[in-house]
Structure 1
């Protein structure tokens, strides 16, 4: 499935120096006069409301950028990998390329919010306390991808965890607010939902933190749960890193896991202690769940009261 198409097109436009959609379409025609890249559809692609369905568009795209990879790679790769590839191919610093995108997008849209949205887009490693009673005291890692879409704050997220039962994939809107950043995720083809409430993003947006709320996926009983969560931005993920996820072993450190994703951290032991303090902070040990028996005892009281008064009302 194609991903991050809007951001990849903006990166391409910034690299080529094309100012308008018309200029970008003209650039595609230089490599293929009959290209399926046209202005009407490009508007939706750049707004994140649709993506090219014709494989030929991606093939033309690869030729336009002079990449060794095939067009299918452009469709499937993560945003960091795409940025790194075109920056290396055209001998331009990644930070400079991203700066050009921000400047170009802000000028063309006239809104700081849209430029801000692009800075939030990317791939993140997420660490939180496991909710499953079978993995008590373990951390679980998920991969979060954020992509810009339509509207001033048009951001969408896809969150993935690799569980013993298979891949868990949820998606939904990201809503930046003045005092918080909210993510509401729903399972594709399922009924799982997570709600994430985070501290507002600060520049350069290297890490996000806050709480994730939902229900334990693997367990004998449904338990509404909440946990602290850390969301670390990945600049240059190792190949295949974004497909990894799941429960960390009890002796596995976050810094070591980040190293496997391509992020080398100085003073890893010190950082691990700091991250662990955050994730297990508070009297709840970093994760809070309502014991089903405790709630059922209260439910029994109020159900009996409700039924008793209902009967009384029907039989005065």
Structure 2
């Protein structure tokens, strides 16, 4: 979009604009080719500041890294006089998720890896226990990030996957099990490098129950070495003092302040999820339905 607005006839000409704006720029022709093709993302935050200088905006590099296609097109049009709608159309083939992920320092590669997942159990049969699951984040095509979350529920391995949607410092994932209607939704804080952990909230329905209970809870994902043992040890975990730290040690993570970390994590997660029962729904309906039925005749 920027190259088109500036009338650059080639990537070489566009790259020269970066060198003119900043002789020490991290942008060279080889890197620029990879960025434009969606094969990688700029690792240096200064590249976005250089792009700002190239197009003549007063906006900081961080704004350029995090803004939407539409906002960038509008700023580009204001700086160059180009038509914003035409610019969006010319850049519309780029992945929307990849564009948002471009705001991450180092790109989605900094987030990729294996993570041990800890959250309060949702099943009434395992109330007071933690679920230890596993999350894997892998770079996809065009700068996307693919999330796969796994749990072991009553002897069955459950695996849900989806493309992560990154917007600024938030990541949202609508996970689905391919062979069923089971879904989970994650809303997480996006960390900076080295992305040692994510924390946020998870919502969905409790399936190991006599009724489907809409549920939500806090969840923490801790980076661990990639090993088959991560999936093999998915289970319900008794949240006694030291249990989380011991589990991480078993997965190859050595913590300098294991006791403090363990206590903080258990406090963060809490003892139980937030859940809604059919009785809750019936109670509301009993107080409201008659009034609504009367209002409609």
Query: What TM-score, normalized by structure 2, do the two folds share?
Result: 0.62
Per the alignment, residue 162 of structure 2 pairs with 172
Q: 1:240 to 1:165 in 2, by over 3 A?
A: closer
Per the alignment, residue 244 of structure 1 pairs with 233
Q: 1:106 to 1:145 in 2, by over 3 A?
A: farther
Partners of 1:294 and 1:225 in 2: how far apart?
A: 13
Residue 291 of structure 1: how far off its partner (Å)? 3.2
Count of matched residue positions in the alignment of Structure 1 and Structure 2 = 202
CA contact (8 A) 1:130 1:138 kept: yes
Per the alignment, residue 287 of structure 2 pairs with 301
Q: Give CA-to-partner distance per residue, 1:127-171, whole Å, 9 cap, x none.
A: 00111111111110111111111223x111111101114111111
Per the alignment, residue 55 of structure 1 pairs with none
Q: 1:262 to 1:237 in 2, by over 3 A?
A: farther
Aligned partner (choices 235, 247, 251) of residue 257 of structure 1: 247
Aligned partner (choices 192, 210, 225) of residue 215 of structure 2: 225
Per the alignment, residue 206 of structure 1 pairs with 196
2:115 pairs with 1:189: no
Partners of 2:282 and 2:294 in 1: how far apart?
A: 18
Per the alignment, residue 274 of structure 2 pairs with 288
Q: Which runs of 5+ in 1 are unaligned?
A: 1-103
Partners of 1:105 and 1:290 in 2: how far apart?
A: 51
CA contact (8 A) 2:214 2:277 kept: no
Q: Which runs of 5+ in 2 are unaligned?
A: 1-29, 43-101
Per the alignment, residue 133 of structure 1 pairs with 124
Partners of 1:176 and 1:222 in 2: how far apart?
A: 29
Residue 108 of structure 1: how far off its partner (Å)? 2.6
CA contact (8 A) 1:237 1:263 kept: no
Query: What TM-score, normalized by structure 1, do the two folds share?
Result: 0.59
Q: 1:293 to 1:184 in 2, by over 3 A?
A: same
Aligned partner (choices 254, 269, 272) of residue 279 of structure 1: 269
Q: 1:107 to 1:232 in 2, by over 3 A?
A: farther
Q: 1:239 to 1:194 in 2, by over 3 A?
A: closer
2:108 pairs with 1:117: yes
Q: 1:276 to 1:157 in 2, by over 3 A?
A: same
Partners of 1:186 and 1:264 in 2: how far apart?
A: 33
1:151 alignment partner, SS class: helix
CA contact (8 A) 1:238 1:260 kept: no
Per the alignment, residue 84 of structure 2 pairs with none
CA contact (8 A) 2:112 2:137 kept: yes
Aligned partner (choices 102, 108, 120) of residue 34 of structure 2: 108
Q: 1:158 to 1:302 in 2, by over 3 A?
A: same
Per the alignment, residue 17 of structure 1 pairs with none
Per the alignment, residue 5 of structure 1 pairs with none
Partners of 2:183 and 2:289 in 1: how far apart?
A: 27
CA contact (8 A) 1:138 1:250 kept: yes
CA contact (8 A) 1:199 1:210 kept: yes
Residue 187 of structure 1: how far off its partner (Å)? 1.2
CA contact (8 A) 2:150 2:158 kept: yes
